[in-house]
Amino acid sequence: MSTLFMSPKGGNCTTVTASAYALVSAMRGTNTLLVDLCGDIPAALGMTESHGPGINDWLSEDNVSDGQQMVLLGTPMIPGLVVLHRGSRFVHGEPRWEALATAIVELPHDIIIDAGTTFVPEALTQALDQVSMVVRPCYLSLRRASRLPRPTNVFVIKEENRALTVKDVGNVLGVPIAAEIPYEAAISRAVDAGLLPARAEQLFSQYFPKA
């Protein structure tokens, strides 16, 4: 199973959601690769910032590495989970999106990609099993989301006292709601303390559908 998490705007908890989804996937016994296109995953997971090559280096136009070599660039996080850091800030030359699409299809991993608000071409999204949009039920998020290509499903960060509801999100975007994740202090505390890996199963497992 391959899933790309994206969002119409920053601040929608996309990185935390993608990271937790990958952690829970590994905890359920699936070999999982978490790919960081944004550069925010080390902070969310309490990891040391990597200074070595990462996904942006692998995507560089002059690189000829295959999917298995891409995995070897990653850092084991917990049993069953490898995190592939962003590496260089930018991709040199024309990104090898089609090579990444091929790797996604061929690798024996569940692949979770945190794209955030990064542009992702159709050549990549067509290779994925699902494109999941992470949104809060707010007007600005939905306004921007309605202008983007339609995702496979939506992960809604559910907040109390919002004028808009989870049902409104589904009606506006016209796609299934994959999960309703409460915006709660326990999750924020876990991320702030660098303890998301230790608490992901407790905090998120009940909200994520099983493959």
pLDDT of residue 115: 95
What is the number of H-type helices and E-type strands within the chain? 10, 8
The C-alpha atoms of residue 9 and residue 102 are separated, in whole angstroms, by 28
158 sits in which H/E element: strand 153-158
Mean pLDDT (the chain, rounded): 93
For the CA atoms of 45, 50, 54, 56, the dihedral, rounded to the nearest 10 degrees, stands at 90
The C-alpha atoms of residue 91 and residue 57 are separated, in whole angstroms, by 6
pLDDT of residue 209: 81
CATH numbers and ranges of domains, the chain? 2-204 (3.40.50.300)
Q: What is the pLDDT of residues 33-51, one digit of tens each?
A: 999 999 999 999 999 888 8
- The residue type found at 120 is V
Q: Give mean pLDDT, residues 126-148.
A: 91
Cα 121 vs. chain centroid, distance in angstroms? 16
109 sits in which H/E element: none
Q: What is the pLDDT of residues 58-77, one digit of tens each?
A: 999 999 999 999 999 999 99
pTM: 0.94
The C-alpha atoms of residue 144 and residue 58 are separated, in whole angstroms, by 30
Where residue 211 falls among pLDDT bands split at 50, 70, 90?
low
